[in-house]
Amino acid sequence: MAADEEKQLLYMTIQSDNKIVVYRKQASGGEKPVRTIEGNDTQLEDPHGIALDLKNKLIFVSNFGNVDFKAAGRAGRFGKFEPPSITVYPMEASGNVKPLRVIEGPKTLMNWPAHMAFHEERQELFVANDADNSILVFRATDEGDSAPLRIIKGPKTGIKSPPGIALDGKLGELYVANMGTPSITVFSVTANGDVVPTRTIRGGPEGAVGLMIGNPGAVGYDTKREQILVPN
């Protein structure tokens, strides 16, 4: 999920239905979405992460690449496998819309691109690259088969199976949830390569079973309370 605080809207990817739904932030019960992005033209393929560029009014969505679609003139639904990708849409997009652009190809190094975080000031997109044990950083304007601007990866990083990521723009820090450790590793937003985290949050000593933090599927940052939030 991602929030537009100015317009009080909540954006959510629905993995099983290959769609994006937008709700009022205060929605409750069976309230219908404000709008939905869904259809074959959207190129939504097993969408996981979503991030918003509020300055340029854009939506970024990471896709694993599993496609479930309706074929014209044929009954039922059909599937296929495509390369992982990041699709980009206008903030006000609705219905069966084509992406403005797509980041996809072998140079991207994407492998199960999960949650994402967008750094508005730096105009950079941070991607938790789950199956590759890495964090990829792309320029906001990247398109096609683009190589990442920076990659955080290697044994020193402590990154393993990272499904979640969050940013603290004030301190310039990046928080990574590692389901394979399990832990939260903290890096500078400019980190690159096989670098040691500035600090690591675990529920126990390294190498031991870490109680309290187990299977951390995501991580968030509360700017008002200055707290790191970890669901287990």
Q: Between residues 136 and 213, which one has the greater pLDDT?
A: 136
Across the range 144-169, mean pLDDT stands at 97
Residue with tokens 């996981």: 48
pTM of the model: 0.91
- 162 cis-preceded (ω within 30 degrees of 0): no
Average pLDDT of the residues in 53-81? 81
Percent of the chain with pLDDT over 70: 94
Token pair in block for residue 220: 């968030």
- Does residue 74 carry a pLDDT above 80? no
Output the pLDDT for position 73.
60
Q: In whole numbers, what is the pLDDT of the chain averaged over residues?
A: 93
Nearest to 133 by CA among 156, 160, 166: 160
Sole residue written with tokens 């990471």: 62
* Residues β-bridged to residue 193: 152
| Cβ proximity of 219 and 173 under 8 Å | no
Residue 49: the pLDDT is 96
Query: With bands split at pLDDT 50, 70 and 90, how would you rate the model's confidence at 116?
Result: very high
- Residue 69: predicted pLDDT: 61
CB-CB contact of 40 with 96 (8 Å): yes
Check pLDDT > 80 for residue 43: yes
- Domain range summary for the chain, segments of one domain joined by +: 1-100
| Mean pLDDT on 200-226 | 82
Per-residue pLDDT band for 70 (boundaries 50, 70, 90) equals low
Residue 76 has pLDDT above 80, yes or no: no
pLDDT higher than threshold 80 for residue 109: yes
> Length of the chain, please?
232
Q: Would you state the pLDDT for residue 204?
A: 75
CA–CA distances in Å: residue 123 to residues 50, 110, 207? 15, 19, 37
The torsion angles phi and psi of 157, rounded to 5 degrees, stand at -75, -30
DSSP 135-191: EEEEETT--BSPPPSEEEESTTTT--S--EEEEETTTTEEEEEETTTTEEEEEETT-
- pLDDT at residue 206, as a whole number: 76
Amino acid 118 reads F
Identify the bridge partners of residue 175 per DSSP, sorted by sequence position.
Answer: 166, 186
